[in-house]
Amino acid sequence: MTITSDTSNPAASNSSSKVAAKAVHVTKTYGSGEAQVNALDDVTIDFHHGEFTAIMGPSGSGKSTLLHCIAGLDRASGGEVWIGETDITRLSEKKLTLVRRERIGFIFQSFNLLPTLSAKENIELPQKLAKGKSDKAFTEKIVNILGIKDRLSHKPSELSGGQQQRVAVARALARQPEIVFADEPTGNLDSKSGTEVLKFMRNAVDEFKQTIIMVTHDATAAAYADRVVFLKDGKIVNEMREPDASSILDYIKSLG
């Protein structure tokens, strides 16, 4: 575990591996004039391939905004956001949709699944939207690991919260996207289900070299990551490598 106080170039510490995504001087402002709010204030950060990153920070720190901007769900007001070799801030809405569909996986806190589709159909949705062939063997493997094989024909309303979230994880991973973005994936789950989901995400990083960026306010969840980035008032204030829950908690307390 390392704590670096140098926040000007936090990503430089691990330059040996390939960059999966990066934000360069990203700003995000809402409103104008007196009422202007800087949700992101000149954020620069790299995310490396095969790494599990957690983004933490108090409410209103801009952690979700950062995730949304990097994931192409929201547009940055300034700066560049790169997914691999693509600057997505320059993409049209149409191309951006393609990037989300082809190269990114999502896990949200709740309402991850379409209520009209079965678990299996939900998992296959991104492939089907892309009209591409799915890697059946890989999907089956994930489904097996997640233990939802016998739940595949069920509608979301027939699944427990934990099961629903596991289906969401399966959907996000099934296409082996360049990056999986997770926004408070365990926020709505009991601790047992939450742990299972987190374990699986960790496993995906270790076993399939999956890149994951996760926003969370839960130190225990963040402890599953390789690296924790702390945000406050729209700025990156610190980061930890190989974090454990108690040191994260301590740091957050110090942030106030």
Q: Which of 41, 42, 80, 121 lies at the binding interface for other proteins (CB under 8 A)? A: 121
Neighbouring C-beta atoms of residue 220, cutoff 10 Å: 17
Is 110 a residue that touches other proteins (CB under 8 A)?
A: yes
Q: Does 133 bind other proteins (CB under 8 A)?
A: no
- Could you tell me the smallest distance in angstroms from the CB atom of residue 109 to other proteins? 4
Q: Which residues contact 255 (CB under 8 A, 6 or more apart)?
A: 57, 58, 230, 232, 237
CB nearer other proteins, residue 125 or residue 237: 125
Output the CA torsion sign for 227, 228, 234, 236: negative
User: What would you measure as the largest C-alpha separation in the chain, in angstroms?
Assistant: 56
Residue 64 as a binder of other proteins (CB under 8 A): the answer is: yes
Q: Does 129 bind other proteins (CB under 8 A)?
A: yes
Surface-to-core class of residue 92, CB atoms within 10 Å of its CB (0-12 exposed, 13-18 middle, 19+ buried): exposed
Tell me which residue has tokens 């289906």: 167
Please identify which residue in 35, 115, 133, 253 interacts with other proteins, judged by CB under 8 A. Answer: 115
Per-residue mark of binding to other proteins, 71-100 (x: CB under 8 A): --xx------------------xx--xx-x
Q: What is the CA radius of gyration of the chain?
A: 18
Residue 244 to residue 242: CA distance in whole angstroms:
7
Of 28-36, 67-75, 189-197, 225-233: span binding other proteins (CB under 8 A): 67-75
Residue 135 found at the interface with other proteins (CB under 8 A): no
Instruction: State which residue, 22 or 171, has the beta carbon closest to other proteins.
Output: 171
Q: What angle do the packed helices 161-174 and 191-208 form, to 10 degrees?
A: 20
Q: Is residue 125 close enough to count as binding other proteins by CB under 8 A?
A: yes
Q: The tokens 């299972």 sit on which residue? A: 196
**Residue choice 4, 9, 17, 116 for contact with other proteins (CB under 8 A):** 116
Q: What angle, rounded to 10 degrees, do the helices at 136-146 and 191-208 form?
A: 140
Alpha carbon dihedral 114, 127, 173, 61, in 10-degree steps, equals: -60
Complex with other proteins: residue 138 or 247, whichever CB lies closer: 138
Binding of other proteins by 102 (CB under 8 A):
yes
Binders of other proteins among 196-235, rule CB under 8 A? Answer: none
Looking at the Cβ atoms of 42 and 74, the one nearer to other proteins is 74
Residues engaged in binding other proteins (CB under 8 A)? 59, 64, 68, 73-74, 93-94, 97-98, 100-102, 104, 106, 108-117, 121, 125-126, 128-131, 157, 171, 183-184, 187
